[in-house]
Amino acid sequence: MRVTLVGASGFVGTRLMDLLKDDHQLRNIDIQPSHFFPELTVKGDVTVPSSLNALLADTDAVVLLAAQHRDDVTPTSLYYDTNVEGMKNVLQAMENNGVKRIVFFSSVAIYGLDKNNPNEDAPADPFNHYGKSKWQAEQVLQEWYKTHQDWNIDIIRPTVIFGERNRGNVYNLLHLLSTGKFLRVGNGRNVKSMAYVGNVVAFVKYMIENVTDGYNVFNYIDKPDFNMNQLTEVVCEKLGRKIPSIKIPYWIGMAGGYFFDFIAFITRKKLEVSSVRVKKFCATTQFDSTKAHNTGFKAPYTLKEGLTRTLEFEFIHPQTDGILFESE
Please tell me the distance from the alpha carbon of residue 70 to that of residue 2, in angstroms, as a whole number: 30
Spatial CA neighbour of 292 closest among 244, 236, 223, 232: 223
Q: What interhelical angle do 169-179 and 303-311 show, nearest 10?
A: 60
CA terminus-to-terminus distance, the chain: 31
Measured from the Cβ of residue 72, the count of other Cβ atoms closer than 10 Å reads 12
Contact between residue 161 and residue 200 where contact means Cβ atoms under 8 Å apart: yes
Annotated catalytic residue: which of 130, 171, 196, 220? 130
Does 130 participate in catalysis according to the annotation?
Answer: yes
DSSP 32-49: S--SS-GGGEEE--TT-G
Spatial CA neighbour of 119 closest among 223, 216, 219, 220: 219
Contact between residue 15 and residue 198 where contact means Cβ atoms under 8 Å apart: yes
Please tell me the distance from the alpha carbon of residue 325 to that of residue 328, in angstroms, as a whole number: 10
Please tell me the distance from the alpha carbon of residue 48 to that of residue 81, in angstroms, as a whole number: 10
Cα dihedral sign, 195-11-205-126? positive
Q: How many residues does the chain have?
A: 328
List residues with catalytic annotation. 130
